[in-house]
């Protein structure tokens, strides 16, 4: 009888591949063994945890296996200065993130209460999970791209159309004074 797959094992099956040594194929091992993962339920009455032993360290501890597609997620460094910026309401100045509350984590990420920290948040070391509606996130990303491209867009516009306030910068082919690259002969040097 097959034991049920854990979420971690199921989410990492794509990493499974048959190992070869010197071109000789080794018979496939149990999927968990291939991943270097051993999972067991430890329950002594007081202590009840589904333990995952990741011997080969194939599992990213910040990986979220079941995300609600209507939201974007980020792990934030849980330091006062960082949190005040990231959870502030200034969307285009690093803000707009909201720390995931216990109810949100259970409903949208399908986590169990025992997987959460004592304060009800999802933490990994000094990181805490936050979210933002996908629509706001896409707007934020679009703004960042436009801002990053603005200097180059201005240069491209000057090259094509020139500067209406400066006739010396009339754009490509727009002025007699702008002749582009010239040979020695064109310059009267040869």
pLDDT at residue 35 greater than cutoff 70: no
Establish if 105 belongs to a structural domain.
yes
Establish if 4 belongs to a structural domain.
yes
Q: What are phi and psi of 25, to 5 degrees?
A: -80, 130
Establish if 153 belongs to a structural domain.
yes
Name which of 81, 180, 182 is nearest 126 in CA terms.
81
Q: Are residues 46 and 65 in the same domain?
A: no
Establish if 35 belongs to a structural domain.
yes
Establish if 82 belongs to a structural domain.
yes
SS3 169: coil
**Total domain count for the chain?**
2
Range 130-139 average pLDDT:
92
175 or 123: which leads in pLDDT: 123
Q: Per residue in 69-113, pLDDT tens?
A: 999 999 999 999 999 989 888 888 888 999 999 999 999 988 888
Question: Minimum mean pLDDT among 54-58, 113-117, 147-151, 173-177: which range?
Answer: 173-177
pLDDT at residue 127 greater than cutoff 50: yes
Q: Are residues 102 and 155 in the same domain?
A: yes
Establish if 90 belongs to a structural domain.
yes
Judge contact between 153 and 146, C-beta under 8 A: no
Q: Please give the pLDDT value at position 46.
A: 83
Establish if 164 belongs to a structural domain.
no
Range 101-130 average pLDDT:
91
Range 134-154 average pLDDT:
88
Q: Please give the pLDDT value at position 72.
A: 93
Q: By percentage, how much of the chain surpasses pLDDT 70?
A: 66
Establish if 175 belongs to a structural domain.
no
Q: Are residues 71 and 3 in the same domain?
A: no
Q: Are residues 38 and 65 in the same domain?
A: no
134 or 46: which leads in pLDDT: 134
Q: Are residues 17 and 72 in the same domain?
A: no
Give the chain's mean pLDDT: 75
Q: Are residues 35 and 76 in the same domain?
A: no
Q: Are residues 54 and 86 in the same domain?
A: no
pLDDT at residue 182 greater than cutoff 80: no
Rounded Cα distance, 150 and 33, in Å: 51
Q: Are residues 76 and 152 in the same domain?
A: yes
34 or 162: which leads in pLDDT: 162
Q: Are residues 32 and 65 in the same domain?
A: no
pTM: 0.57
Q: What are phi and psi of 15, to 5 degrees?
A: -80, -10
Which residues span the domain enclosing 54?
A: 1-59
pLDDT confidence band for 22 (50 / 70 / 90) = very low
Q: Are residues 70 and 127 in the same domain?
A: yes
Q: What are phi and psi of 24, to 5 degrees?
A: -95, 125
């Amino acid at each position: 009888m097959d034991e049920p797959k854990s979420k971690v094992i199921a989410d990492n099956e794509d990493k499974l591949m048959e190992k070869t040594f010197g071109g000789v194929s080794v018979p496939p091992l149990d999927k968990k063994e291939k991943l270097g993962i051993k999972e067991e339920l430890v329950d002594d009455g007081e202590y009840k945890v589904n333990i995952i032993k990741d011997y080969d360290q194939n599992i990213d501890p910040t990986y979220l296996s079941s995300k609600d597609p209507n939201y974007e997620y980020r792990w934030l460094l849980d330091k006062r200065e960082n949190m005040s910026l990231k959870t502030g309401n200034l969307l285009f100045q690093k803000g707009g993130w909201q720390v995931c509350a216990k109810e949100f984590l259970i409903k949208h990420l399908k986590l169990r209460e025992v997987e959460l920290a004592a304060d009800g948040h999802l933490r990994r070391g000094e990181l805490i999970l936050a979210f933002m509606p996908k629509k706001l996130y896409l707007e934020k990303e679009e703004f960042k791209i436009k801002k990053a491209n603005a200097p180059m867009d201005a240069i491209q516009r000057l090259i094509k159309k020139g500067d209406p306030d400066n006739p010396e910068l009339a754009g490509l082919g727009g002025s007699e004074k702008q002749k582009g690259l010239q040979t020695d002969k064109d310059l009267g040097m040869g």
